């Protein structure tokens, strides 16, 4: 039993019927103390726990009601101060602080300083500019405080310091009951107004409750002073160097932590142990390992951690995986619960200009409550996400509804076509999708209705934003348990409170900064110790549970006792001049150290002190705090030991391996122990393969790829020609890009056309560009088509001077359409790329005028075997014959067909990228450049079927680069050998017959921009090259292709 519990037990027994009011930092802490008394078999009749703010509210409540004044929350006071700062800045009344923007960080820093002044009982009229390092700084701090006081008065509000001051004023009216006493911690730091209130309300009935002594440290000046003879308050004291117990364990020697030379000799009973771990996660894991290996009941354990979410979050994740029961004194971060996830996801979505991927992520998380009406199921989150991606929204709130409406129309067209083709089942599927997409449109409309727009100046009504976000969370958060319900109440109340405060319109960045701050620090599920549960406490509330085993974590130099950074607004030298009641940095460091020593001094049973010896995120070593060094000195009975001795004596840092099976607390650790006994990795593949068949298949595939011989996992497959070969299966329609891919990389062909692997199509936000190369190429093609069609219909030849306005006008219209489909990330990027397109058109006009021979443009954007969106051509594919009995079907789009002279034609393909790969090709580019040759044969059939010419012959074909990047260059082939083309195609198609879908070992940069790079890896060609010698037949195609340059 520690001194606190011992004293309370004795005091309650001696004042059994008297009313005893114990002032504690929190009700939860009071509940802990009460439970601890009960556990020790002590009665605490008539002992009531109150917090100081609640006591002040009780004393001043009636007066507040009479005055019509209500208490303002800390969050609301931030916004009030933000308005004050902005107004003073806009009025030009700031000099010292004029360079600072009204960000949440700046306002919070000023607020902390003003709060400290008010908690010291100071008002603006009490301050002098002489106390500040600069006069203008003092004037402005005084002005902040004065305006803050005026706003409180004007709005009939009162903050916590004001509440204490009013309670002090009214405390004299509270009748003093005979026998009633007030109890208060002796070792606790109080501000001036708190001290004054306690002394006013308690009077001579104040009892200071002693805690376990701390030897060797100076008592912090803001703690209760030792009382003199004229002071009537009761206080328990210990004789110097003595103590109320027998110091029977090493843990009970901790009062001498900072005075080891005066301590009793070490007991060496293992009641106090030190350890370290690699990272905070492993520190938490090691605690659970020790609990399991030593078979400690969970409700015998308390874990004491620093303020913040780090350790509660880690234990929440770990305990969820292992199904351990844990209670959290400070609660768990809001972000772990459905309303918190919805809040964070919604802010991400809005802040990133309504990026559709953020909304998809929010929906896929399953935290939104969506309903569709009676008898209709809500589509799965993944299906909703797919609809949104298929709508090609990209970003920008104004695109959602129009793009979803376009998706509905497109799906209706598909349903109509399916019905016309007699495919009723497919038609019904489309109709079901249409119903779901229409429902989704209504849902998105509801989402957007709750979110306010920015005004013309880019400002946002923060009140409306808070109201909208609150409404969204209340309406759409999925509530599955009481913790979700608590989380919803917390965040919605915080948002509603912020919305109730007058706020100036904010810039986007400022608005979302404040919005995120509203959710920061909110915690859910705070609880005291519960039977059958492990319990986590913060340092300020730890050590009162009376549990037998205590772990104190995070005792590294960086985290304890603190960094000692000064208040940036009120410096220490200014605080000392203003008032002795203002705490300085050194005061707070001393208080932290003394409180930690006092906490350790109060522990009983067994304790473990630990720290993280390595920061895995920052990749740097961490060192133990001075408190651990003192504990080491105390344990060894040697005050002269240093850090070197401490580090050498500590056990090896606990890491990812538990060390033994009896310490493994979850499945991951069990497996790690099995495959790495004594820290040495063994082959556990066989066990993994048996336990996890999917992983086993992956291991088998890896082993097969490591074999010198090719395997099915590298594209060496047996395949039925009727399934994959266009000469056998006439339902397969080839394209030039498909054939070129077969020549470039058969494995890529295998993935795309045999396994049907494809990269999902969706708009991705790239802050550096508007259109990707493919989209820009499509835009230029469309402009060239519209322009050349108009000139053909007019019977005019290209004239750069005459036709500049025409092509620029066409370009503006098409660019506008593209902008509607694909929103630019920023206006500046759009203007830059628009200018680049216009420059490309100038190059096109000049290049057309300078072409080597006069031609007559005949057809443009000629499709065959494809649905025609614009341009000319036919919907049927062309029949490509190697001989009358050997043929396949081909589809594609020819950019342009020119007539050179009667019956003689040229086929041109516009290219808008780099021409480097075309510089050295002669005719077929080893099978990788075949479009011109294939399209030449196709063009002859199209010209015949469209009635343009009964006996056409394409004698020239190639590629034209009509842009600034391409410099107007042409790469043309004259009358290529069609017999050689047929031979080449048969060689390539034989890959399909043989099933040799291997990676091309000669690939270089192509792999870096291939869609399948995540599957193969950029080192795939090197791996293929290593297998080439052992598998010459499978790689022979690449040698053959070298004959077809």
Give me the average pLDDT of each 10-residue run along the chain (1045 residues).
89 91 93 90 92 95 93 90 92 93 90 96 95 95 96 94 95 79 93 95 92 92 63 40 59 94 94 95 94 94 94 94 92 96 97 93 95 87 93 89 93 88 87 95 96 87 94 96 96 92 85 91 93 94 92 87 80 95 92 92 95 88 93 95 94 86 82 75 76 87 86 87 89 93 92 85 70 86 90 88 92 90 82 90 84 78 82 87 88 91 92 82 90 94 91 92 80 91 93 90 81 83 86 89 89
- 224 and 148 in one domain? no
We report the CATH number of the domain holding residue 862 as 3.90.320
Question: For residue 418, is it within any domain?
Answer: yes
Cα–Cα distance measured from residue 836 to residue 857, given in angstroms and rounded to the nearest whole number: 26
Q: What local confidence, expressed as pLDDT, does residue 419 receive?
A: 87
- 501 and 425 in one domain? yes
- 536 and 503 in one domain? no
pTM for the model: 0.80
Helices (H), ranges, 391-461: 400-420, 424-449
Cα–Cα distance measured from residue 581 to residue 445, given in angstroms and rounded to the nearest whole number: 56
Q: What local confidence, expressed as pLDDT, does residue 848 receive?
A: 81
Task: From 765, 802, 803, 758, select the one nearest 784 (Cα to Cα).
Answer: 803
CB hemisphere CA count around 569 (13 angstroms): 21
The dihedral region occupied by 521, where left means phi > 0, alpha psi between -120 and 50, and beta the remainder, is: left
CB hemisphere CA count around 830 (13 angstroms): 12
- Domain end marker among 471, 503, 524: 524
Cα–Cα distance measured from residue 510 to residue 507, given in angstroms and rounded to the nearest whole number: 5
- Domain end marker among 241, 270, 297: 241
Backbone φ and ψ of 593, nearest 5°: -65, -45
Handedness of CA 473, 479, 482, 484 (dihedral sign): negative
Q: Do residues 257 and 630 lie in contact, with contact meaning Cβ atoms separated by under 8 Å?
A: yes
- 325 and 340 in one domain? no
Question: For residue 116, is it within any domain?
Answer: yes
- Expressed in percent and rounded to 5, the helix, strand and coil fractions of the chain are 50, 15, 35
- Count the domains in the chain: 6
The token duo for 613 is 């010896």
- 93 and 48 in one domain? no
- 540 and 517 in one domain? no
* Domain boundaries, position 680: 661-705
- 446 and 345 in one domain? yes
Question: For residue 147, is it within any domain?
Answer: yes
Question: For residue 792, is it within any domain?
Answer: no
Question: For residue 830, is it within any domain?
Answer: no
- 311 and 405 in one domain? no
Angle at 485 between CA 481 and CA 489, to 5 degrees: 170
Q: What local confidence, expressed as pLDDT, does residue 853 receive?
A: 60
Cα–Cα distance measured from residue 516 to residue 512, given in angstroms and rounded to the nearest whole number: 6
Q: Do residues 574 and 519 lie in contact, with contact meaning Cβ atoms separated by under 8 Å?
A: no
Count of residues in the chain: 1045
Question: For residue 824, is it within any domain?
Answer: no
Rg, the chain, Cα only: 39
Question: For residue 952, is it within any domain?
Answer: yes
Q: Provide the 8-state DSSP code for 543.
A: T
**Which letter, b or e, does each residue of 944-973 get, where b requires 16 or more Cβ atoms within 10 Å of its Cβ?**
eeeeebeebebbbbbbbbbbeebebebbeb
- 542 and 514 in one domain? no
Angle at 706 between CA 703 and CA 710, to 5 degrees: 100
Q: In a 3-state reduction of DSSP, which class is residue 863?
A: strand
- 955 and 941 in one domain? yes
In the block, tokens 């803050």 appear at: 148
Q: Tell me how far CA of residue 254 lies from CA of 211, 480, 516, 603, 642, in angstroms.
A: 13, 46, 42, 9, 18
* End-to-end CA separation in angstroms for the chain: 91
Q: What local confidence, expressed as pLDDT, does residue 764 receive?
A: 66
Residue 963: partners with Cβ closer than 8 Å, 6 or more residues away? 780, 840, 843, 844, 912
Residue 481: partners with Cβ closer than 8 Å, 6 or more residues away? none
- 493 and 347 in one domain? yes
- 914 and 891 in one domain? yes
Question: For residue 794, is it within any domain?
Answer: no
């Amino acid at each position: 039993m520690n001194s606190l519990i011992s004293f309370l037990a004795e005091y309650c027994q001696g004042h059994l019927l008297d009313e005893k009011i114990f002032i504690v930092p929190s009700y939860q802490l009071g509940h802990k103390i009460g439970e601890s008394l009960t556990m020790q078999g002590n009665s605490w009749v008539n002992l009531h726990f109150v917090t100081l703010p609640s006591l002040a509210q009780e004393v001043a409540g009636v007066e507040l009601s009479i005055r019509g004044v209500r208490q303002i929350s800390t969050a609301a006071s931030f916004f009030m101060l933000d308005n004050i700062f902005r107004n003073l800045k806009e009025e030009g009344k700031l000099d010292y602080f004029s360079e600072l923007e009204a960000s949440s960080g700046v306002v919070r820093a000023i607020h902390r300083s003003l709060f400290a002044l008010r908690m010291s009982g100071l008002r603006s009229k009490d301050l002098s500019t002489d106390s500040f390092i600069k006069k203008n700084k003092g004037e402005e701090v005084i002005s902040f405080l004065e305006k803050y006081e005026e706003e409180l008065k004007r709005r009939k509000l009162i903050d916590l310091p004001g509440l204490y001051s009013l309670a002090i004023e009214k405390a004299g009216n509270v009748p003093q009951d005979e026998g009633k006493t007030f109890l208060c911690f002796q070792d606790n730091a109080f501000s001036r107004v708190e001290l004054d209130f306690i002394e006013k309300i308690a009077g001579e009935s104040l009892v200071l409750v002693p805690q376990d002594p701390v030897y060797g440290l100076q008592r912090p000046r803001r703690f209760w002073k030792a009382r003199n003879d004229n002071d009537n308050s009761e206080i328990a004291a210990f004789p110097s160097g003595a103590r109320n117990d027998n110091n029977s364990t090493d843990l009970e020697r901790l009062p001498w932590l900072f005075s080891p030379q005066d301590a009793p000799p070490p007991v060496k009973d293992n009641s106090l142990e030190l350890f370290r771990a690699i990272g905070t996660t492993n520190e938490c894991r090691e605690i659970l390992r020790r609990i399991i290996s030593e078979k400690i009941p969970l409700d015998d354990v308390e874990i004491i951690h620093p303020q913040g979410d780090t350790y509660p979050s880690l234990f929440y994740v770990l305990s969820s995986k292992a199904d351990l029961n844990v209670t959290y004194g400070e609660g768990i971060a809001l972000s772990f619960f459905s309303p918190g996830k919805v809040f964070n996801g919604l802010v991400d979505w809005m802040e990133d200009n309504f990026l559709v991927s953020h909304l998809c992520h929010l929906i896929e998380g399953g935290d939104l409550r969506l309903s569709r009406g009676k008898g209709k199921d809500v589509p799965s989150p993944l299906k909703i996400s797919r609809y949104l991606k298929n709508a090609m929204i990209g970003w920008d709130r104004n695109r959602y509804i129009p793009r979803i409406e376009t998706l509905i129309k497109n799906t209706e067209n598909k349903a109509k076509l399916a019905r016309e083709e007699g495919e009723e089942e497919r038609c019904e599927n489309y109709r079901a999708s249409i119903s779901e997409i229409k429902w989704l449109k209504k849902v998105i409309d509801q989402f957007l209705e709750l979110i306010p727009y920015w005004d013309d100046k880019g400002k946002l009504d923060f009140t409306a934003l808070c109201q909208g976000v609150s409404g969204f969370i209340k309406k759409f958060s999925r509530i599955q348990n009481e913790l979700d319900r608590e989380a919803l109440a917390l965040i919605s109340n915080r948002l509603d409170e912020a919305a109730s405060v007058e706020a100036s319109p904010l810039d986007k960045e400022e608005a979302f900064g404040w919005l995120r701050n509203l959710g920061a620090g909110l915690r859910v599920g705070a609880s005291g110790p519960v039977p059958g549960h492990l319990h986590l406490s913060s340092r300020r509330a730890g050590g009162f549970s009376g549990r037998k085993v205590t772990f104190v974590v995070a005792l590294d130099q960086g985290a304890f006792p603190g960094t000692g950074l000064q208040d940036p607004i009120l410096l220490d030298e200014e605080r000392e001049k203003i008032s002795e009641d203002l705490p300085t940095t050194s005061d707070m460091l001393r208080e932290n150290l003394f409180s930690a020593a006092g906490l350790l001094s109060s522990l009983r049973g067994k304790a473990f002190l630990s720290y993280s010896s390595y920061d895995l995120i920052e990749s740097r070593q961490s060192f133990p705090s001075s408190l651990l060094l003192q504990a080491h000195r105390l344990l060894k009975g040697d005050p002269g030991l240093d850090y070197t001795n401490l580090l050498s004596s500590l056990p090896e840092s606990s890491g990812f391996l538990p060390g033994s099976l009896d310490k493994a607390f979850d499945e991951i650790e069990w497996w790690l122990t099995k495959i790495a006994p004594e820290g040495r990795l063994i082959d556990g593949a066989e066990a993994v393969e048996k336990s996890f068949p999917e992983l086993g298949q992956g291991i088998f595939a890896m082993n097969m790829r490591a074999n010198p011989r090719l395997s099915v996992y590298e594209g060496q497959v047996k395949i039925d020609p009727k399934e994959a070969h266009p000469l056998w299966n006439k339902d397969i329609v080839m394209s030039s890009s498909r054939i070129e891919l077969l020549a470039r990389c058969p494995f890529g062909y295998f993935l795309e056309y045999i396994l049907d692997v494809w990269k999902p199509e969706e708009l991705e936000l790239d802050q550096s560009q508007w259109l990707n190369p493919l989209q820009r190429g499509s835009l230029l093609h469309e402009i060239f088509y519209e322009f050349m069609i108009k000139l053909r219909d007019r019977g005019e030849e290209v004239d750069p001077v005459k036709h500049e306005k025409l092509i620029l006008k066409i370009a503006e219209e098409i660019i506008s359409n593209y902008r509607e489909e694909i929103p630019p990330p920023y206006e500046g990027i759009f203007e830059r790329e628009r200018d680049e397109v216009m420059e490309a058109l100038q190059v096109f006009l000049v290049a057309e005028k300078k072409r080597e021979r006069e031609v007559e443009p005949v057809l443009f954007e000629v499709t065959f075997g494809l649905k025609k969106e614009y341009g000319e051509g036919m919907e049927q594919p062309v029949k490509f014959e190697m001989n009358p009995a050997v043929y396949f079907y081909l589809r594609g789009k020819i950019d342009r067909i020119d007539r050179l002279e009667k019956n003689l034609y040229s086929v041109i393909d516009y290219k808008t990228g780099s021409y480097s790969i075309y510089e050295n090709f002669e005719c077929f580019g080893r099978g990788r450049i075949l479009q011109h040759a294939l399209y030449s044969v196709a063009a002859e059939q199209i010209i015949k079927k469209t009635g343009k010419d009964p006996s056409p012959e394409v004698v020239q074909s190639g590629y034209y680069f009509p842009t600034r990047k391409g410099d107007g260059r042409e790469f043309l082939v004259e009358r290529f050998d069609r017999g050689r083309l047929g031979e080449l195609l048969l060689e390539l198609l034989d890959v399909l017959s043989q099933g040799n879908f291997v990676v091309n070992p000669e690939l270089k940069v192509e792999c870096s921009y291939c869609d399948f790079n995540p599957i193969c890896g950029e080192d795939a060609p090197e791996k293929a090259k290593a297998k080439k010698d052992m598998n010459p037949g499978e790689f022979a195609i690449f040698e053959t292709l070298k004959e077809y340059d």
